[in-house]
Amino acid sequence: MTSTSQRSVILRPVNLQATILFTASLLAIVNPLSSAVLFVTTASRFSRKVQQQMADQSGLAIAVILLACVWVGRYLLLVLGITVPMLQAAGGLILLITGLRMVTLEETKLTAAEKISVEDEPESQWKALAVVPIAIPGTVGAGTITTVVVQATTYSRWQDLLIITGVGLGTALLMWLTFRSSASIGRRLGPIGLNIVTRVMGILVTATAFGMLARGIGGLLPGLMRAS
CA-wise closest residue to 144 among 35, 57, 217:
35
Mean pLDDT along residues 193-217: 76
Residue 67 has pLDDT above 80, yes or no: yes
* Mean pLDDT, residues 196-216 taken together: 76
Task: Report percent pLDDT > 90 for the chain.
Answer: 18
What is the per-residue pLDDT for 68?
Answer: 93
Please report whether residue 78 resides in a domain.
yes
The radius of gyration of the chain's CA atoms, rounded to the nearest angstrom, is 20
113 part of a folded domain: yes
- Count of domains forming the chain: 1
Listed range (15-24, 92-101, 103-112, 196-205) with the worst mean pLDDT: 103-112
pLDDT confidence of residue 197:
67
Greater model confidence, 162 or 188? 162
Alpha helix ranges (H) inside the chain? 2-30, 32-43, 48-71, 73-80, 84-104, 112-120, 122-129, 142-154, 158-180, 182-220, 222-227
pLDDT at residue 146 above 60?
yes
Report pLDDT digits (tens) over 104-122: 865 444 444 444 444 444 5
Greatest Cα-to-Cα distance within the chain, rounded to the nearest angstrom: 75
Does residue 211 lie within any of the structural domains? no
Q: Identify the domain containing residue 128 by its residue range.
A: 35-83+107-189
Q: Is residue 153 part of a domain?
A: yes
Q: Is 29 inside any structural domain?
A: no
Q: Is residue 22 part of a domain?
A: no
Residue 147 included in any domain: yes
In this structure, is residue 63 part of a structural domain? yes
At 73, is the pLDDT very low, low, confident or very high (cuts 50, 70, 90)?
confident
